Amino acid sequence: MIPKKAGAELRAVGMRLTRARRVILEIVRASDAHPSAAAVHRDVRRRLPRVSLATVYRNLRMLAAEGLLSERAATTGLRFDGNTAPHDHFTCVACGRIYDVPAPPARVVRLRAQAGFEVLSRRIEFYGYCSRHRKGRGEPCEGAPTQRKGRGEPCEGAPSQRRKSWQDEASRAARASRT
């Protein structure tokens, strides 16, 4: 459900809450998976079949600029978050799922008191293994961006495991120096 203030906030800056914007906002706010523009587009097309990816992307950026969503850079590109309350994120490096983590407000207060800083915003990211992947099971998490393709292949949306040529060269050089 979209709060009534969303339409009022958009009208205040001279924009309308069009049907496409409303559906995009509903989809992102209903998801706790921090979807990409492509994932939002896929879901929007189920309700509005003629909406283009460019329209979805443009509206996501505009809604984020107006503070109705937040956007965050991930290793796989921009992801969008419907939770605009202060919070941190945990990203599972195995499946790529992004979890919201409550942000204790005391950190900002202590920083202000101890160092005299004026904190305008903050962003803390945690990376590691979610409970399912920490246990060594290879199944994707519920709500992960996509399904695991097969043994040894990461989920789409997870950081790439493919080695770069410079990494191969560095490994060869390290092995050669040991012999």
Other CB atoms within a 10 A radius of the CB of residue 159 amount to: 14
Q: Write the CA distances from 163 to 124, 160, 176, integer angstroms.
A: 27, 8, 19
Q: Tens digit of pLDDT for each residue in 15-36?
A: 888 899 989 999 999 998 899 9
Question: Are residues 123 and 62 part of one domain?
Answer: no
Question: Are residues 157 and 175 part of one domain?
Answer: yes
Overall pTM surpassing 0.75 (yes/no) = no
Burial 24-58 (b: 16+ CB within 10 A, else e): bbbbbbebebbbbbebbbebbeeeeeebeeebbbe
- For residue 12, give the CATH number of its domain: 1.10.10.10
Question: Are residues 75 and 99 part of one domain?
Answer: no
Average pLDDT, the chain: 76
Write down the residue that tokens 């080695």 correspond to: 163
Average pLDDT over residues 96-124: 78
Q: Tens digit of pLDDT for each residue in 40-73?
A: 999 999 999 999 999 999 999 999 998 889 998 8
Question: Are residues 77 and 118 part of one domain?
Answer: no
